[in-house]
Amino acid sequence: MAYKSTSVDTDGRLEGEINQAKRLMGRATKLLRDSYCQDQDAMPDEVRKFRHEAYSECVMYGNEVFPKTVDFIGDVADLLDYYIFLEYEQFANQIADIREQCRDRSKLAARILRYHSFVVANFKRMQDELQKKVAELSAKRENLERKIEISRNLENGLRTMTALGASSMAIDFGLGYVLCCGLAAGTTLAAESVAIYQKRLDDAVATVRGFILLGECMEWLANAINSLGQLLSMIEHDLDQIERTGKGQKFKTAHWMVMRGKASRLVESCRGFIMIMPDIKSDIQAIQDYVDESQKLAWRRRLSMYEQVEQLEIN
């Protein structure tokens, strides 16, 4: 029987998802590490509150979810090594064991995917909240800039009128001078306020950018996990057909040959992703916002409830 399995994507999409997640993860955690060093005393209370919540979420993801994700990807690479390092006869003798490993890991993929869906949903909610704050800060800055422009125009107009009026004795020069000085002082204070709002805006935007990038990375990683889970399920289906229904020798040989070519490319991407773990761990450790045990328990409780809801919807 001809080999018709769909367990292999020939366009390299899966490797591309893993490689893109790797690139984005490194950029995101470095950006978050840099923005973590911002002066929080200069930030509005709302932004400080968001930062603590968002960085706490990041810490929980880095400690609870990302290591499990790396272990899962490493396990998939180890499983695919069967196709790279075993000769055909050895592979044929271990089909039952490989099939069971595929089944276990595909279930694990579904669970880790739910973890990422939970964290991505949390990040998107927080991003929406902070982006509203960014819009408010931007509006306040623009409003102040308009007031400064009006004040400067009034100041320039009054200076011109004072000079002309004083020369013709139309207005008192001293009064005009005092008004000009008052307007100039007000303009200076407003300009200082604009600088403060601009600093707050820059800090908030940098924080938003980091979390948006991390959220995008998680979506790519979730896509890769989903694709790996599908691949494992399809391999399991192939091996089940070989083991249980006695598919022909040609089908078995074709499966092994096709998967051997696929495995060599995919394992390279998986192991490349695993190599970023030390850098990510270092970045996460550098942004360790204080997360007490009650917060950790609350986070785990919310994750557990999310999983239960997801399982109910699936069933």
Q: Is the pLDDT of residue 171 over 50?
A: no
What mean pLDDT do residues 25-39 have? 77
pLDDT: is 272 or 213 the higher one?
272
* Sign of CA pseudo-dihedral 34, 40, 42, 44: positive
- Kindly list the distances between the CA atom of residue 55 and the CA atoms of 37, 98, 110, 124, 273, in Å, as whole numbers in the listed order: 12, 40, 26, 14, 23
pTM assigned to the model:
0.74
What's the pLDDT band for 84 if we cut at 50, 70, 90?
very high
Please work out, in degrees rounded to the nearest 5, the angle formed at the alpha carbon of residue 135 by the alpha carbons of 150 and 116.
165
What is the DSSP track for 157-190?
A: HHHHHHHHHHHHTSS-HHHHHHHHHHHHHHHHHH
CA dist list (Å): 240 to 32, 58, 102, 234, 263: 45, 40, 11, 10, 19
Residue ranges of the domains in the chain?
Answer: 13-141+208-314
The pLDDT assigned to 179 comes to 43
How does residue 191 score in pLDDT terms, banded at 50, 70 and 90?
low
- Give the pLDDT band of residue 185 (cuts 50, 70, 90): very low
CA contacts within 13 A on the Cβ side of 11: 3
Rounded Cα distance between 237 and 230, Å, is 10
Q: Which of 43-52, 60-69, 105-114, 228-237 has the lowest mean pLDDT?
A: 43-52
pLDDT for 10 equals: 45
Q: In 10 A of CB 164, how many CB atoms?
A: 12
pLDDT value at 109 more than 90: yes
- pLDDT, residue 170, reads 45
For residue 265, the 8-state DSSP code is: H
